[in-house]
A and B are shown apart, each in its own frame.
Chain A
């Protein structure tokens, strides 16, 4: 077995990140700009924060063997609820945030119940939920609405040097979710249920709980992304979620990060790498002033090629707890 094939997919993701940084440095340098300047790093990291939140949630639902196509609409709804309640009053920030997250969580709960209880495939359950919310948004909101107060808008506009606060919040959230996945029972059950529902059930896991948890967390993450967007835009917007195409993009980022679309195997750290790759790609293409239509061509090719790089090799994508207990290498699975 050669050394390359012993790399886990997460390592490969970060090798691709490194490669992107090198290519980016050269390309951005070729048009007389610096890839590592404050403005450029800030641009890249800003690009990671919104997609990052969504991809964290998407990782959870994909790990548990589902999907979430309703995120764009949850994002828009969350931004509208928050900006609507805040109505430019600093005192209303907390109620606004809580209400937006509570509604998001309820949507996630509904998704989770439909998927786990009614046995509807996540693709259809969340596609349907997305349509339901989209109808609500179109009926009740004409254009942007509400107003985020200054104190809330600061979140979207403040940075520590080149690092936006929003990115730090996103990373902190990722850390919490990582802890949950690796240290808590429900985290372990998410992997188990996604790996094999039948086996998980037979080993005494109540399979509904992890599925519902993943969906609730995913919607809450989308809600957080909506809050961040409300902070950046200063208003709520009924189309801000669909504008970014976050549903398919976040799924692509998760798979790019090495998580199996079928569920059960993958890592959150890899997902963050996937998000970073997309953000850098966008940044490089914008600096190079690539034709917007060609941008989509490049995105499409990169998604497929990058996934093809490690999809063909056998990868170990078990969380560490499985590796610790066994002296023999963990079972290798073809991704």
Chain B
């Protein structure tokens, strides 16, 4: 007994010695690319508020979060695919398809809202399933699979509707993206998209801490090694594609409410989402990055657009500014990852600080 208590003591002591204080850990986390995006986001927010103080009022901020929610949710979905080492270019077309489904099938009929909502989720999951299966089982690169899906799905939607949706869905449905809980103290209003975003982010965070999330990152880092440890790589990746299409579905539902039914809703969403994810320090090619950083990347991107707006940058130059910032941010992140990889093992664990307690005498011998 005393031996094991002793060992426990040593273990805690060693753990404590190796583990720096919470503040230290936070600081170190902020120095990684996945943490750096939060600094970027805060800097951009300060700049926006300096340019236009009324933006800093709680009411404006919460509305801003609300309107960024769909792209942030899409970025979370894209994160699953990218961290597993793949791409999802079909996201924008899925959003547009869902917008059309909502517009054409719900119409003015409140009773149809729930069944059509169900149908949209099934449809989203189905698209993801196809993307995933063709990528994993037919071994077609996901860039090509989802590019083909992007063209085919959008073409199909436009062909079957003649390019224009026939209806504006019922108000109860549009409230999901347009409305909110009113008369909230301080904030005035909590838009429903904010709540949906928080729930999605929490679910994603939970999922990434589950065995599935760990396997997903392992698959993205080295799929062969993950397969050798017994992971069913094809199913892990396929589920990532389904998560991506489902998040595009959620984004689509919010966008129908926010913007209405229009063929250009969702256009370019795939590139914005990928940019947001990469801005969040997630590495293209897979295996690295934090899911909430992807969402933060989306917020940073939207804040940047707002800042350019408030600063009165000529609209034609905005693309250029965006391009420069993306390159600089990702270059900075790439440098940090590199430094980390080179220096990590030597610096953090000095020989005087053993990582694990020395084997206690006798633990390895049976019978004592």
Interface residues of chain A, those whose CB is within 8 Å of chain B, are 114, 118-121, 123-125, 127-136, 138-139, 248, 251-252, 255, 260-262, 291, 293-297, 299-301, 303-304, 307-308, 311-312, 334-335
Contacts and interface: CB of A to CB of B under 8 A. Distances in A.
A121 B278 contact: yes
Given A135-B318, A135-B320, A300-B155, A308 B138 contact: yes
B151 to A, nearest CB: 3
Chain A contact residues, majority secondary structure: helix
Interface string B312-337: 00101111111110110011001100
A124 B319 contact: no
B259 interface: no
A129 B334 contact: no
B129 to A, nearest CB: 15
Q: Chain B: interface secondary structure?
A: helix
A121 B286 CA distance: 12
Given A129-B323, A296-B154, A291 B159 contact: yes
B2 interface: no
A307 B318 CA distance: 37
B134 interface: yes
A129 B139 CA distance: 31
B152 A300 contact: yes
A124 B152 contact: no
A312 B139 contact: yes
A127 B151 contact: no
B140 A251 contact: no
A299 B140 contact: no
Interface in B265-289: 271, 274-275, 278, 283-285
Q: What range describes how many residues of B lie at the interface?
A: 35 or more
Interface string B50-76: 000000000000000000000000000
5 contacts: A118-B327, A255-B144, A293-B158, A312-B138, A312-B139
B150 A300 contact: yes
B140 A308 contact: yes
Contact of B140 (A125, A291, A304, A334): A304
B280 to A, nearest CB: 12
B7 interface: no
Interface string B131-152: 0001000111101110111111
B354 interface: no
B262 to A, nearest CB: 16
Nearest to A301: B152
B155 A303 contact: no
A296 B331 contact: no
Which of B147, B163, B314, B324 counts the most chain A CB atoms within 10 A?
B147
A123 B321 CA distance: 17
A120 B330 contact: yes
A132 B323 CA distance: 5
B323 A311 contact: no
Given A121-B285, A127-B275, A300 B151 contact: yes
Contact of A124 (B320, B321, B326): B326
Contacts of A251: 143, 147
A141 B38 CA distance: 37
B334 A119 contact: yes
A123 B159 CA distance: 31
Contacts of B148: 299-301, 303-304
Contacts of A308: 134, 138-140
A127 B320 CA distance: 11
Given A121-B278, A124-B327, A128-B326, A297 B143 contact: no
B134 A304 contact: yes
Nearest to B153: A300
